[in-house]
Amino acid sequence: MTALTNLLDLDPAQLVEYCGELGEKPFRAKQLLRWIHQFGAHDFEAMTDLAKSLRDKLATRAMVAAPAVISDHTSTDGTRKWLLDVGQGNAVEAVFIPEENRGTLCISTQAGCAVNCRFCSTGKQGFSRNLTVGEIIGQLWMAEFELRKSKNIAPGPKGERQITNVVMMGMGEPLLNYEPTVTALKLMLDDNAYGLSRRRVTLSTSGVVPMIDKLSQDCAVALAVSLHASNDTLRDGLVPLNKKYPLRELMASCKRYLEFAPRDFVTFEYCMLDGVNDSDANARELIALVQGRSGSEAVSCKFNLIPFNPFPESGLKRSHNPRIKAFAQILMDAGIVTTVRKTRGDDIDAACGQLAGEVQDRTKVQERMQKMVEYQTKFGKNFGRIVEVFE
């Protein structure tokens, strides 16, 4: 038997091509897009304005299938987290964050993550595989219509949209799963699908410089960069990718990206780690970095300071609130827009950096962490600790 084509895997242009292969005219692709992404339809018989002959073809050759929901939890603050089955023992998470004037969905692009940032529990689970287009856009498809169903809001463009913003800040590094990520972005932006503004879709990256440049040409959306350090020495330890693409190269790529971006700034995400990256000196070093006074390009930006969500394997602690406030004030006094992210959904492990899900431990992280405990017992508590180096 021929494998069924999952129509969630196809962007608008690919759907036109697929319809052509079925002997159908291009306008059928628009009809399919609307049925699937605006009405949440997965049964071809329900697509009543399609010719019966086309519905019969689709019934034997295609499907609309998002990842199955394993669990669905709602936090006391209204944050909702779905754990989704992507097969072979892997699961990913999508998180909906409701606010007064918008609803933001945080989605995943990989099962696990290969970047292995020290402060992120997802990275400590290791990397399993890239997600397909259908598995990425399927998170939005599932969440939008689940939210509507829970509020008795009808599907279709006349029903009130529940998800107004999408952030690719869940599990994985989006730019290391480039083609499926960009295809999913094109679906989010298409008027016959979700019709989201480029300003309301944000891709977060650890700093894969060549792919930042490529994204600027292929599908420039709002850009967030996981910075987390004010110098290369510190960032090398927190974000290992920095050894390949150091800060000077990263700042230059951000500057280039802004020529094509829908916003006139890049958001720098900065996880606040007690005694590691939260000193006044770090704040002043950040100012010099983004204002181009440390040999790098000046970059129009805003900072989003993120209180760390501790997990035992990291060996790190959250900065105290007065320290976060003082750090933010130094940035603001330098004229940099700075916000402190509210912790949302941490009672259901849906907060930033907690999306570990149930992915397999491909890299034996738990075993290595146990070894670290043994070494610290033998050689002292500072063994393996990140130490800041100042000139």
Of 40-54, 110-124, 157-171, 295-309, the one with minimum mean pLDDT is: 110-124
Candidate list 19, 106, 219, 352, residue with the active-site label: 352
Confidence at residue 374, expressed as pLDDT on a 0 to 100 scale? 63
Q: Which domains does the chain have, with CATH numbers?
A: 5-63 (1.10.150.530), 68-377 (3.20.20.70)
Under DSSP, the state recorded for 111 is: E
Q: What is the mean pLDDT of residues 261-287?
A: 96
Respond yes or no: is residue 93 known to be catalytic: yes
- pLDDT tens digits, residue range 317-374? 999 999 999 999 999 999 999 999 876 555 545 444 444 444 444 434 455 455 556 6
Residues 6+ apart with CB under 8 A from 374: none
Binding residues: 113, 117, 120, 172-173, 204, 226-228, 309
Binding residues for S-adenosyl-L-methionine: 172-173, 204, 226-228, 309
CB atoms within 10 A of CB 253: 26
Residue 258 has pLDDT above 90, yes or no: yes
Respond yes or no: is residue 352 known to be catalytic: yes
DSSP labels, 319-379: PPHHHHHHHHHHHHHTT-EEEEPPP-SGGGT-STT---TT---TT-HHHHHHHHHHHHHHH
Residue 117 has pLDDT above 70, yes or no: yes
CA atoms within 13 Å, Cβ hemisphere of 210: 4
Confidence at residue 381, expressed as pLDDT on a 0 to 100 scale? 56
Candidate list 93, 135, 144, 285, residue with the active-site label: 93
Quick one: residue 380, left, alpha or beta (phi over 0 = left, psi -120 to 50 = alpha)?
A: left
Residues 6+ apart with CB under 8 A from 192: 12, 30, 33, 34, 37, 38
Backbone angles phi, psi at 104, to 5 degrees: -110, 130
Task: Give, in degrees to the nearest 5, the angle at Cα 171 between 168 and 174.
Answer: 50
Confidence at residue 106, expressed as pLDDT on a 0 to 100 scale? 96
CB 385 within 8 A of CB 315: yes
